[in-house]
Amino acid sequence: MTKTEILNICKWNNHNETSVVYDIPYLGIKEIVLLPSNNTQKDLPDNIVSAFNNLININLQEFEHIKKYLYWVCKVSCESITYGDYDIDVDWKNGETEFEANMRFFGVKNENDAFEKSDLESIEIINNGEVTLWFYADWGSCGLNLIDGKWDDFA
């Protein structure tokens, strides 16, 4: 989309921040918060326009990367957190490790499960053009960054 097309669908608040509601491939209709710095002109810098276009044009391979990331976060969380310390009643079956019990408790067996059990709470694009997808899941919250059209490497 051109800068003009994006500006035409922006909704500005009193803090000179704006948001756009857009149907992102694989992620659905989401509000995208655009945070240009020191913006009194109600304009968007080119790097935010570029980042917005990178986001709305994600492909299947990039979507698979998002699912892998969420599964990785779930596994790391289930390996390192004793959820019982947080008043979550995880029952261990005979012979199960804490990791196995946690994964079973959260119902995550693969990348698709991790994505389905995660909520994309917000999307932000800041002045330097960095996109952050903020996810919440029962096992924890996390963010994934898209910088210059490339997803952060998490492993």
For the chain, give the mean pLDDT: 91
pLDDT at residue 153, as a whole number:
66
pLDDT tens-digit profile of 98-130? 999 999 999 999 999 999 999 999 999 998 899
- Higher-pLDDT residue of 86, 50: 50
Q: What is the mean pLDDT of residues 57-61?
A: 94
Q: In the predicted model, what is the mean pLDDT of residues 60-86? A: 91
Sequence ranges of the domains in the chain = 3-151
List 122's β-bridge partners, or say none. 134
Task: Report pLDDT for 16.
Answer: 77
Please report, rounded to a whole number, the percentage of residues in the chain having pLDDT higher than 70.
95
- How confident is the model over 79-102, as a mean pLDDT? 84
Residue 151 has what pLDDT?
86
Classify the phi-psi angles of 28: left when phi > 0, otherwise alpha if psi is within -120 to 50, otherwise beta.
Answer: left
Question: So what's the pLDDT on residue 14?
Answer: 82
Structure-model confidence comparison of residues 155 and 49, the more confident one: 49
How many other C-beta atoms can be found within 10 angstroms of the C-beta atom of residue 14?
5
Percentage with pLDDT > 90 across the chain:
72
Q: Give the C-alpha separation, 87 to 82, whole Å.
A: 10
Nearest by Cα to 48 from 126, 123, 132? 126
User: Would you state the pLDDT for residue 155?
Assistant: 46
Q: Are 121 and 113 in contact (CB under 8 A)?
A: no
Q: Is the pLDDT of residue 38 over 70?
A: no
Distance CA 23, CA 52 (A): 12
Q: How do 28-35 and 11-12 pair as beta strands?
A: unpaired
